[in-house]
Structure 1
Amino acid sequence: MHWISIILIGIAANLDNLGIGLAYGVKRVKIPVLSNAVIAIMSMIVTFVAVTAGGTIVEYISPHIANLLGSLLLCTIGLWTLVSNRFSQQGIAEQPELFDEDKNYIISFREAITLGFILSANCLAGGIAIGAHGISVIWTVISIGTFSFITVAIGSHFGNLLTKTFIGKYSAAISGWLLIMIGVLEILG
């Protein structure tokens, strides 16, 4: 059951990255492999801190209560995603050139650090919830980093093509439903 949660949290936390990659692809702003790796590493660092913090919570309350709270937190984050449908990433998607400071249509290593930090915000609350469940820190971090790298790469590569697809249009809603599904799976598991 935890493997499914680890994979789903990796996907859910990074669907917005797909949208951001699409926005950059449409604007013809390139995200080189090294810059994409920096974005993924930033997500991994934030996830590690969040999952570790969530794991610390278990030391102060019973594992059952921590598991329930973590599951409810995931469901709440999913609902908030569905209701608000507005993250700071939406501003990035509308104006991706904001992070291309030198306006050369390439996201540099330094620009990728800032972008990666902002994109990793999705990993924070989900990471705390996962940590409260006692789910493997290392595998969660690897899942987040892997899916971050894949979604940004796919998005920036396919740009125009994917913005018109179901995933491109509804990435926030899909992410919200995935988080709710993970929370429910963990409550039942």
Structure 2
Amino acid sequence: MISSILTMAALAVAANLDNAGVGIAYGVRNIQISSAANLLVAVISGIATILSGWVGRLMSHYIHPSVASYIGGGVMFAVGIWVLSEPLRAKRKERKKRQSGVIGRILEDPAAADFDQSQTISLTEATVLGAALAMNAFAGGFDAGVTHLNVWWTGLFVAIISYVLLGFSAFFGRRYAARALGKHATLCAGLLLLAIGVHQIW
């Protein structure tokens, strides 16, 4: 029981570390995100986790439990590698920035979610931001599903951590120390996802 709770909590943190980077970026640039907009982002992440968890749970009915653990761990490991390679991909994408989609631009520059440049994230803008930030939640939910963790609780964990991290990091984003931490959010997320993947496999 305790092990499952810790795993769900770790998945939730890993799925939301990008939120810390986004919140810090908003704080540094004085872009406001209301409680309602933050809540909407959290709900989207929670729903993404639950939906992908159902897919993972469905797949687990047709494969052996040990194989399911390997698949879940492999997915988390692969996503961890993908997250860690993000800085390298960002350099190559810099030349093609104008051609990238809305989601891609937001992941590269969180301020791009403020479409009207009002220095405030509206509910409409929060919907797009939530979709961009939910990418890691999909992987976490799938892993929870194939390894038979409680999908609903995992989704709730993800939503709560999303709300807390985004709001908390935005509050402290105006401080230099918080800005420095923001630079390492991607590295921390990638390493945590790798650790979860290795734990699931072994």
TM-score, scaled relative to structure 2: 0.84
Aligned partner (choices 45, 49, 70) of residue 68 of structure 1: 70
Aligned partner (choices 35, 43, 46) of residue 45 of structure 2: 43
Report the equivalent of 2:128.
114
For 1:134-149, list aligned pairs within 5 A.
Answer: 134-149=148-163
Per-residue deviation at 1:128?
1.1
For 1:1-189, list aligned pairs within 5 A.
Answer: 1-85=3-87, 86=89, 91-92=105-106, 95-161=109-175, 162-165=178-181, 168-188=182-202
CA contact (8 A) 1:24 1:30 kept: yes
Name the CA distance, whole Å, in 1 between partners of 2:108 and 2:171: 17
Per-residue deviation at 1:71?
1.2
Would you identify which runs of 4 or more consecutive aligned residues in structure 1 move more than 6 Å? Answer: 87-90
CA gap 1:21/1:89 in 2 versus in 1, 3 angstroms? farther
Name the CA distance, whole Å, in 1 between partners of 2:109 and 2:195: 31
Q: What is the letter of the counterpart of residue 115 of structure 1?
A: L
| Structure 2, gaps ≥5 residues long | 91-101
Name the CA distance, whole Å, in 1 between partners of 2:52 and 2:44: 12
CA contact (8 A) 1:30 1:107 kept: yes
Q: What is the letter of the counterpart of residue 41 of structure 2?
A: I
Per-residue deviation at 1:123?
0.9
Q: What is the letter of the counterpart of residue 155 of structure 2?
A: V
Q: What is the letter of the counterpart of residue 26 of structure 2?
A: Y
Q: What is the letter of the counterpart of residue 179 of structure 2?
A: T
Name the CA distance, whole Å, in 1 between partners of 2:144 and 2:196: 10
| Structure 1, gaps ≥5 residues long | none
CA gap 1:78/1:94 in 2 versus in 1, 3 angstroms? closer
Name the CA distance, whole Å, in 2 between partners of 1:19 and 1:108: 19
Name the CA distance, whole Å, in 2 between partners of 1:127 and 1:10: 9
Name the CA distance, whole Å, in 2 between partners of 1:185 and 1:101: 40
CA gap 1:157/1:90 in 2 versus in 1, 3 angstroms? farther
Per-residue deviation at 1:80?
2.2
TM-score, scaled relative to structure 1: 0.90
Give the fraction of aligned pairs with identical amino acids, expressed as a percent.
32
